[in-house]
Each structure stands twice: as C-alpha cells, then as structure tokens.
Structure 1
Amino acid sequence: MRILPMRRWLATLLTALVTVLALVAPVNPAASSAAPGDPLAAAGLVEPAVARIDTEVHYQNAVGTGTGIVLDPGGQVLTNFHVVAGADRITVSVVGRAFPAELVGYDRRRDVAVLRLIGAGGLPVAPIGDSAALVEGEPVVAIGNAQGSNAPLTHEVGTVTGFGRTVTAEDTLTGSKDELTGLFEFAAPVIAGDSGGPVVNGAGQVVGVTTAASVNFRMGPGGKGFAIPINDAMGIANQIRSGAASDSIHIGPPVLLGVGVRTAPAEGPGVLVADVLRGGPAEQAGLMSGDMLTTLDGTPLNSATDLTYVLDRHYPGDVIDLTWIDGSGQQRTGKVALTPL
C-alpha cells in the first residue's frame, strides 16, 4: 500500500518491513496440482476478478492504493487489512466499475480484511486454488495495483522459494509491531500497491495474497515477496463473512479512541500520546499531547501494539476506563465512549 504522506493517525498501519526470519519449512509434496503452461496466460484467467483499491484519510489529505480479490458476484473482496486501515473513504474498481466500499471485518494479526462493495452485482469471481499443493520452484504470478488505478495492473512473474516464513513489520512513526507468520516466499519484484492482490499458479488459480509490502519496503536484487497462503486467508475471510467475531477477528470498522501514540522510549509501562484528535473520545476524557497512557480497559500498555489489540476487542458505544500520567506527573483516570473510525 502506498501512503502519501508518511504520517498516519493511528498506530495500526504496517509501514516498513524490517525483519524476515525463516522458520523451519514443511516438506511439501514433490508435485503441484497446478497445470504447467504460460504463467501470464494463467494470470489472465484471474485478472477480471482483481480489485483496485483506493483509500483516503481525510484529516491528513492522504491517499493510498492497494489490491483485492473478488470473492462473490455481490461484491465481497478479500484484501490485506493494512491496505484499508485508517481509511475514511474506500473506493474499489472491478473491470472498470467503481464502487464505494465498507469494511465487513478484519483480522489485524493475520493482515486479512473483507470489504463489501456497495451497489455491486454480477462481478467476476476469482478461481480459488489450494495453497497446500504449492511446491518450491513452482512458477507464480503476482497481480497488483502498484502503478495506480488508472494504469495497467502489474504482473510480476516468479517462483515459490520457501514456506513457513515469518515477517516482522513495524510502524516507523509509532513503534507498533506485528508478526505475520506462516507466509510463503516467492521470487518476484512486488512493490507497494500490490498488497492484497492475488498470487496465481499455473492453472490460473489464486494460491496466495501478497502482503507485507509498504511505503518503506525496498526489495533486494531480483526482488522477493511474501504471501498469505490462500487456504489460511479464506479460512479467516469466511469467518468474517459469517459475522463470527473472536479474540482476533473484529466485525465492522475499527473503533476510534482519538490518539496517535508512540511506544515510550524510557523504561516502564505506558505509551506516549503524540497527538489527540480534536473533539474525539480521548480529548473529551482530558487526554493531552505529551501524556503517558498507561492502562486501557484494565490492560497495562507496554507498547503501541497493545493499544491496538485492546481496541480491536471493542465496538462503537463501548465505554472503557483509561489511566494516564499527565504532563505534571500526576496519575489521572477517566472513561471514554468509543466511536466508529
């Protein structure tokens, strides 16, 4: 996802891929179920069901681009959560038709989200493959929106190079970190804007969702990408589509506390409040820039990541307790009624 400018309001976005750790890769079957053939021709079977995603963040006049995969004719689209996180407006285009979109739900820790295109019908649906059948060396093509929604889709050809990868992504502004596990690696020069797009096998089936691409992500020589296996992504997406919330799956848009935070540089609990949204819940509770937010809903905050996970458990209208230390060093408490983002 490409974001201009860099600065974002909430500590929820994955903006820089900083570490890639290879875990023990499972031994896969010796042969794939995908039929051999021209990779680009196979990708052409999926391209009509590729969604171009454009986002806007109004308070900062920021825009972003990403990619999605159409799951049903009525307009449900699979993408990465980081493609749409923090967006006030989402517009999705499929085969030249543009629709406003809303967030059905998301799993932040697995970077999966499902959108609903308002007013859509009769859309082409992506053929879904079996990521468990992938093998090392198998050719794949990543389709994406890296050049922007008014330009041709990108088609990055490569090969599968590994399984069971873990990516650590960090928000360089806030210090919020998330680990994405169980990814497969492929040698193809995917770039920002390809996030959320399909990785296609030789049979013209979606076998993965490109992820971990961000504004600061720079590929090495030859390029490489990381994808959520489609079996994993569809399991999460189908739970979201059924409306089944859980500890990790949030149904509907995120809630708004109204603070921009950074992990505290000094030892001790708490996150540093860098910004407070005027008129937002946090300002109404008395929080100010420079305060140290130490507890949210009874959970001690040791990092910006802790704050996002606590908020993901809540829905608009929930009233939660806050504890913070103000600029004079005094501990204060208050309550906030959370609002939709």
Structure 2
Amino acid sequence: MNEAPGREGSGPVTLLVLLVLVTAAAVVLGRPLLAEYANGGEMAAPAPAPTSTRAGDRPSGRRPGVINIEADQGLSSMRSAGTGILMTSSGFVLTNNHVIAGATSITATDTDNRRAYRARVVGYDPANDLAVIKMDDAAGLRPAVFGDSSDVRVGDPVTAVGNAGGKGGAPAVVTGVVTSLEQTITARNQADGGSERLSGLIETDAPIKPGDSGGPLLDTDGKVIGINTAASAGPDDDGTTHKHATPSGTATATPEHRGYAIPAAGALEIARQIRAGRATGTIHIGKTALLGVQVRSNGTAFGALVDTVVPDTPADKAGVKAGGVVVALAGEAVDTPSRLTGLMLTHHPGDVVKLEWTTRDGRRHSADVRLVEGPPQ
C-alpha cells in the first residue's frame, strides 16, 4: 500500500462519486467518489455566467482521441478502468489522477485504431486530480482537439464521451447542457471514504457514469472543453440510488444528475508542466516512492495511524507495525495522513530518509530507510 489512505478503485470502474468520477466512482471514471456540496454543506455560489446563445445547437457526438484505460492495482489486488484524452500523436494522454492512483501497471487502448499499449505515468497532480501518462511505442495517432473552455456558457449543449462502466470497446456517448460554472465540490471515494476538494468546475446534466473519469466533455464543434471528473446521479441500471449531500447537508436520494468537468484550459496548463518535468508543491514528476504503510487519521491525536504494513517494504524492514503512529519523515513533522502523503511526493525511489514513529506503548522509534518504487498516489 502507499502512504496515504487508499484511493484505489473499489470495483472495475472509476468516477469520483459525487457518485463517481473521481475514481473516481468505481470504474475509472476510475474509482467511485461521491460528490458532496462544498463550504459546510452548501454548493459554492458560481460566478455570474452569461446564458448561452448556442442552446439550439446540436451536440457534437464522438470525436477522435478517446483512450480506454485499465489499471491493475497490484498492492490491493484490484483493477480499475477509466478514460483518457489523447493530447499528441505520439501517445501522451491526459486523465484524472484518481484513474491511475495505485496502479502497478496500466494498459491504454486507442479507441480509434483499437490497439492496446502499455503505458507509464509521466507525472500527476493529486490536488487537481490530473495526470499524464505515455503510451509506449505509440506513433501516428489522432489526438483530440481542445477548445476554449473560457468561452463556455450556461445552456451550451455538450457531449461526454468515455469508458462508461469500464466495459472497454467503443466509448459511450451521452449529451446534455452546461447547467452551471465555477462549481466547488468535495468528491468522495466510496471505497475508503477519502475525499478531494475540487473547484472551478463545469457542471452539466449529461449522465456521466463510473468509468467516464478522465474522458472529454465536448462542445458542439467536437472540441474538448473539459475533463469529466465527478458526478452525482439518480438510480443506476441496477435500480440502486446514489446519494449526495443537499445544501442542508442531509444525505438524500435524488433523480437529478449532475456531472462535473475540469475546464480544459487549466488542465492543459498542468499537463504542460508535467510534460516539461516541472515539479511543484502539488505536481509529482516521474516514479513514486513507496514507504509501505496504509495509514488513516489518528482521531484527534497527532500523526498518521498505521493500519497495514506491506511485507518486505522499507517500513516493514524498519520494524513499523500496525497500530503504530508515523510522526515524522525526513525531519518534517507528520500530523495527518495527508501530510505524510505530501511529504512522500517530494521524494523519489532510492532516497534515504529518516522515519520516526511511535508504537502502541507510546515509545518513539526512528530508522533511516531507503524508499523503493511504488504505484502513483
């Protein structure tokens, strides 16, 4: 396991759930996430947005550059599935971070030529739920065309395309309209209760499903204006109903569907930084370092409580046991699991760092550990 609470898909599909898209809901969309209202239970007020003059236009339908993604979660014996957007003919793909988080191997299939490629993670930004992967030996592919997301208006017809349900094959195509802009949500992973706060999102009533995470939201010209990331939905095909928080904060069933997409402009800027190899406080470049503990909140106490220690990892070899509490890494205090995750993302495989932890009896221990390679966070 990696150092932060697990974010792997809980099933074959990902989508952060609001329901899922932030794989976010189970099939990548990636893993299932539930989107909840932000700001103390209330949806953040959107910035004033003009009403669309394109409301009568027809949705575009599917366009080139849609990639089906399958990720093996080797440390948790799971598999997730989601979607990506082909940025270049040589195989650079933009997707959601939750689609590839925890992946020990990735297969990316170009839905235009139907060829499957092994893929590697170039870099990722967990805070903004974005990642870039590279398809090995890819050439001559047909990339997607990106549009101007700053020109999006409420009422614009849109098309969402993706690997709905993680079924693979030809992408599913659904349509709707833009219902709001500049939305802020908390996307929750149904599998482990982990959550992410995302802002500046495009809201649509297009029925996005798990597995659509990372796929394109298209304008009427077929240009990518957003990256589908999370959704709240009504009854599924199996008759179950996903729930989301109402403005009052009370969970309630609803037939209304809300899908959320990261605007393309911001996503492309992050993708450019990743491809240029520019790490930041939120962007990690290259291979991911592994400590080997699965942690959770220590209640109201300081530190990251160890749930599981993966055998034959640096933490295991140092003597860390379940029930212990990680309190520092590389000389930096660890007050929460997210702090540990953030510190780990500043390191790379091969780095030697000082790990400090307490045992159940309250004794403090430390050891120098050499980090090994693990799956992306």
1:225 and 2:259 correspond: yes
Give the TM-score taking structure 2 as reference length: 0.81
Structure 1's 35 and 122: CA in aligned 2 closer, same or farther, altered over 3 A? farther
Q: Which residue, 55, 60, 63 being the options, matches 2:76?
A: 60
1:13 Cα deviation after fit: 7.1
**Greater mean deviation of Cα atoms: 186-195 or 316-325:** 316-325
- Residues 69 and 78 of structure 1 are in contact (CA less than 8 Å); yes or no, is this contact kept in structure 2? yes
Other-structure match for 2:5: none
1:206 and 2:239 correspond: no
Matches within 5 A, 1:246-285: 246-265=280-299, 267-285=300-318
Q: How many residues align?
A: 329
SS in 2 for 1:4: coil
- Residues 176 and 262 of structure 1 are in contact (CA less than 8 Å); yes or no, is this contact kept in structure 2? no
- Residues 73 and 124 of structure 1 are in contact (CA less than 8 Å); yes or no, is this contact kept in structure 2? yes
Matches within 5 A, 1:14-163: 15-21=32-38, 22-31=43-52, 37-39=57-59, 42-44=60-62, 46=63, 48-94=64-110, 95=112, 96-163=114-181
- Residues 105 and 240 of structure 1 are in contact (CA less than 8 Å); yes or no, is this contact kept in structure 2? yes
- 5+ residue gaps, structure 1, are 7-11
Output one character per residue of 1:220-253: Cα deviation in whole Å (capped at 9) or x when no partner. Answer: 4131111100001000001111111111111113
Q: Which runs of structure 1 show a deviation greater than 4 angstroms over 4 or more consecutive aligned residues? A: 12-15, 29-32, 171-176
Structure 1's 328 and 296: CA in aligned 2 closer, same or farther, altered over 3 A? same
1:289 and 2:322 correspond: yes
1:303 Cα deviation after fit: 2.4
- Residues 200 and 262 of structure 2 are in contact (CA less than 8 Å); yes or no, is this contact kept in structure 1? yes
Output one character per residue of 1:172-198: Cα deviation in whole Å (capped at 9) or x when no partner. Answer: 666544311111111122121110000
Other-structure match for 1:301: 334
SS in 1 for 2:277: coil
Output one character per residue of 1:10-36: Cα deviation in whole Å (capped at 9) or x when no partner. Answer: xx976532522332322335556x796
Output one character per residue of 1:84-126: Cα deviation in whole Å (capped at 9) or x when no partner. Answer: 0010110000020100000000111000100000011111110
- Residues 55 and 156 of structure 2 are in contact (CA less than 8 Å); yes or no, is this contact kept in structure 1? no
- Residues 73 and 122 of structure 1 are in contact (CA less than 8 Å); yes or no, is this contact kept in structure 2? yes
**Greater mean deviation of Cα atoms: 270-279 or 326-335:** 326-335
Structure 1's 272 and 252: CA in aligned 2 closer, same or farther, altered over 3 A? same
- Residues 36 and 188 of structure 2 are in contact (CA less than 8 Å); yes or no, is this contact kept in structure 1? no
Matches within 5 A, 1:5-20: 15-20=32-37
**Greater mean deviation of Cα atoms: 13-22 or 287-296:** 13-22
- 5+ residue gaps, structure 2, are 1-7, 14-21, 25-31, 233-239, 244-253
Other-structure match for 1:4: 11
1:171 Cα deviation after fit: 4.6
Q: Which residue, 341, 345, 350 being the options, matches 1:317?
A: 350
Q: Partner amino acid for 1:52? A: N
Q: CA RMSD in A?
A: 2.5
Structure 1's 97 and 13: CA in aligned 2 closer, same or farther, altered over 3 A? closer
**Greater mean deviation of Cα atoms: 282-291 or 205-214:** 205-214
SS in 2 for 1:43: coil
Other-structure match for 2:279: 245
- Residues 109 and 116 of structure 2 are in contact (CA less than 8 Å); yes or no, is this contact kept in structure 1? yes
Structure 1's 86 and 128: CA in aligned 2 closer, same or farther, altered over 3 A? same
Report % sequence identity. 37
- Residues 70 and 126 of structure 1 are in contact (CA less than 8 Å); yes or no, is this contact kept in structure 2? yes
Structure 1's 5 and 80: CA in aligned 2 closer, same or farther, altered over 3 A? closer
Structure 1's 20 and 293: CA in aligned 2 closer, same or farther, altered over 3 A? same
Other-structure match for 1:9: none
Q: Partner amino acid for 1:38? A: R
1:236 and 2:275 correspond: no
